[in-house]
Amino acid sequence: MEAARLGERRQGLERVIAGRERSMERLLVARQGLGAPDVVRAALSGDDPSELGRRLAYVGYVSRAAAALVAAYRADLDALAGLEREARAKRERLRSVEQASRADRARILREREARRRVLERSAAEIRRQRREISVLRADESRLSRLVAGLGRVLGRVEAVPEKGLQSESFSRLRGKLRLPLKGELTGRYGAPREAGGLAAKGVFIRAPQGEPVRAVARGQVVYADWMRGFGNLMIVDHGENYLSIYANAESLLKQVGEAVSAGETLATAGASGGREQTGLYFELRYLGRAFDPLRWVTLK
């Protein structure tokens, strides 16, 4: 809009200047027609003195008008030059603004593309986590159905079940049990699992591959097979609706139907459940519902 106003002002000035130039031409023509007055010659010629005065007055008028017209013409030229300078300055500013706008648009496009890539990666990660959560839920649901059909903590686990006869019922062993494997507790009951944040229903004991896994109490093997998400899995029924679950084992050493005593070796530690660490995943359940094993065991 400013450029349009400048253009209109310039056109107006150019029209005024053109008009003044035409006026100046007419004044010059008129002045040349009068010629330069010679007072002495006019006095000797015998011409009427009043006529001479009128001619002199007219010549003075024409000269003053010409001088005023030239001054106005110069002022208009200066104004036109000022408009030209202003127009150039505005063009420079517009060029700078346009360059800055192009740079801003390029920056905005780069940021938009970066946000798009971040959103795509985030969406892909969310989809992956949802798939993992879905798989975990399916795995846990499968184990829960199996159990129903069958009726990062720091520290070291040094004490394991000792071999021997056990006369007490399982319900009276609370606080007396020992975890089935020597190693380091790296996952506890209720803590978020690695994928998706689902709460763990047991504990994980990290230990070297091949370490013996022992029965926490006497009972009978009711399941011994591989299951997705848990690897080589063994379930021991201890009576009174209590079950112990041993997963992620390298190998299973007992078969379904075998009776086991407290401290007897059931399996060996491994990574068959897909975990990065070798060891054992261990659960205790009552009436099919998992509860915290650490409330029932002693680590001494």
Q: Indicate the number of domains in the chain.
A: 2
132, part of any domain = no
Residues 82 and 159 in one domain: no
The answer to whether the CB of 192 falls within 8 A of the CB of 166 is no
**Whole-number Å distance between alpha carbons of 91 and 151:** 88
pLDDT string in tens for the chain (300-residue length):
666 676 677 677 677 767 766 776 666 666 665 555 555 555 555 555 566 566 666 666 666 766 776 777 677 677 778 777 877 888 888 888 888 888 888 888 888 788 778 767 756 665 665 565 666 666 666 666 776 666 543 356 656 676 655 667 899 999 999 999 999 998 888 877 655 557 889 999 999 999 999 999 999 999 999 998 899 999 999 999 999 999 999 999 999 999 999 999 999 999 988 888 899 999 999 999 999 999 999 877
Amino acid in the structure at residue 137: R
14, part of any domain = yes
139, part of any domain = no
Residues 163 and 273 in one domain: yes
Task: Give me the phi and psi of 153, to 5 degrees please.
Answer: -90, 130
**Domain that includes residue 50, residue range:** 2-113
157, part of any domain = yes
Q: pLDDT value at position 248?
A: 94
Q: pLDDT value at position 298?
A: 86
Q: pLDDT value at position 158?
A: 59
Task: Give me the phi and psi of 9, to 5 degrees please.
Answer: -65, -40
Residues 176 and 43 in one domain: no
Burial label for 243, CB within 10 Å (0-12, 13-18, 19+), is buried
Residues 161 and 88 in one domain: no
122, part of any domain = no
Q: Going along the chain, which residue ranges are E strands? A: 156-157, 183-187, 203-206, 212-214, 219-227, 231-239, 242-252, 259-260, 265-269, 279-286, 289-291
**Whole-number Å distance between alpha carbons of 130 and 119:** 16
Residues 101 and 199 in one domain: no
Q: pLDDT value at position 131?
A: 61
Other C-beta atoms within 10 Å of 273: how many?
21
**Whole-number Å distance between alpha carbons of 177 and 173:** 6
Residues 168 and 41 in one domain: no
Residues 50 and 184 in one domain: no
Residues 75 and 171 in one domain: no
Q: pLDDT value at position 154?
A: 39
What would the two tokens of residue 144 be? 């829960």
CATH of residue 181: 2.70.70.10
Residues ≥6 apart with Cβ < 8 Å to 21:
73
The answer to whether the CB of 175 falls within 8 A of the CB of 271 is no
